[in-house]
Structure 1
Amino acid sequence: MKHVHSGKVRDLYETPDGLLLMVASDRISAFDHVLEPDIPDKGAILTQLSLWWFGQLADLVPNHVVDRGPDLRSVLCRKLTMVPVECVARGYLTGSGLIDYRRTGMVSGVALPEGLEDGSRLPEPIFTPSTKAPVGQHDEPMTYQQVVQQVGSDVAEQLREITLAVYRRGAERALERGIILADTKIELGWDADGVLTLGDEVLTPDSSRFWPKDTWSPGRSQESFDKQFVRDWLTSPASGWDRANDAPPPRLPGEIVERTRERYVEAYQRLTGTTFTG
């Protein structure tokens, strides 16, 4: 197989018959940096959870999966021409959306009610796209009109409809398992027939924020089953990281690595209702 591309988390290889083997590594990234060390079993959890979700979403949108790969971390998939927009849906206010809201009263140009706090549930899920920045650069929020200007009104409407449909289905399934899906990012591309297709990963702790329903309380940072735990440690005094001066991030302590793995495993097991065996 020919190596095609390596991202922050995934490696792509082309097979002799023109398909792609997508391998999820155990690498973890935050704030546009790949961190050290790896999180054990993370790649397998991302791939197996994505495969489960692709099945849950199959009636909403086609996906790129052809078959499972030779191990738990890999999947054989069709090539897609990726849409040049990050498709994000939010049902709750936090993260970069909260920063945008506090500054403008809007998120990606969508006006929101006054008085919302960190963790507030939004009146309805919203489509909050962003740019697809090159590796090492930051994605920037986009308004819906900017998406229209980039891909046209018909494609923009499809992107919004699919993204919100995926979010709503994911939020519904997660809530049945006692988990709040705060927000999620999906990757869409056109297949060989020009059909918008779900690619990459979907509804994993790397691409979504998952919160325990029984501890959710607006007005503070929420407990989570995702890599927000790592972000929180990196921005705490305990890490000693000077982000303002572009210093390289510190190495993750063993305790943070293990507790992050535990959160990924718990997300997988609670969402799918099955035991992760690694």
Structure 2
Amino acid sequence: MFRVILMLCAMALQTAAHAQGDIGRLLNHPVPGGVAVIELGKGLAAPEAVYLNNRVLVVRDSDRQWVAIVGIALKTPLGKQALQVQTAQGKRVVAFSVGPRTYREQHITLKNKNQVNPDPAQLKRFEREYLAQMSAYGRYRDVPPSNVLLDEPVHGRLSSPFGLRRFFNGEERSPHSGLDFAVPKGTPVKAPADGIVTIVDDYFFNGKTVFVDHGQGFITMYCHLSASKVKPGQSVKRGEVIAYVGSTGRATGPHLHWNVSLNGARVDPAIFIGAFRP
């Protein structure tokens, strides 16, 4: 009977403990488009965590706690969310709360009207490209990242922040899913962590684009490039030059657009470089 009670307790809904290590203190911003860092215990083996049917990145923090680093999509409603956790002791559900964050608007004028309302052939191209990107974002390579506190891919002024409600020629489109760096054309772009290159392509909206898989669903994307230095399947090291800044695709001038994705959700890259502003 006592064992049954223990099993029922393990299955019960628990509330997430506030992460106390360096990763928790620096990355825990549980808002739409943010990150929740959730303590999972100090066992020998890494727990497995799942959020909305997607495997979640799990690493040890500086205090030796295993922590889940959960990406929260921009469209996530405020309030309670549930993380499914599997350990050697059994399964449990850990609840965490998503709080509010306000994102401002950005209005952009484009001379190329097709980049606002593509024609049917361009739409078909975009759909193919979108599916390829979603496949890359959804990949879970069961290898821990070399680091989750990232280096900036370029050094320069942060221009358009993550989450902007964007209006092109007065028409609202998807919110800004990355962070822009206003730097000159030809600026070298460096990998912020070790990884495997999964995409090198030239897309309708993104222009020349590179994806890097850092492990456990931790993916970064770089677009509007002038050129790349890598090929799909290539291993890259932290600090290695992978591309050069440009203004290809839907861009009004040279800049780097940088995306970070966790468990299939685009999240604010500023969190990972210490530049997050509530």
Above 0.5 in TM-score?
no
Larger Rg: 2
TM-score, length of structure 1 as denominator length: 0.26
Higher helix share: 1
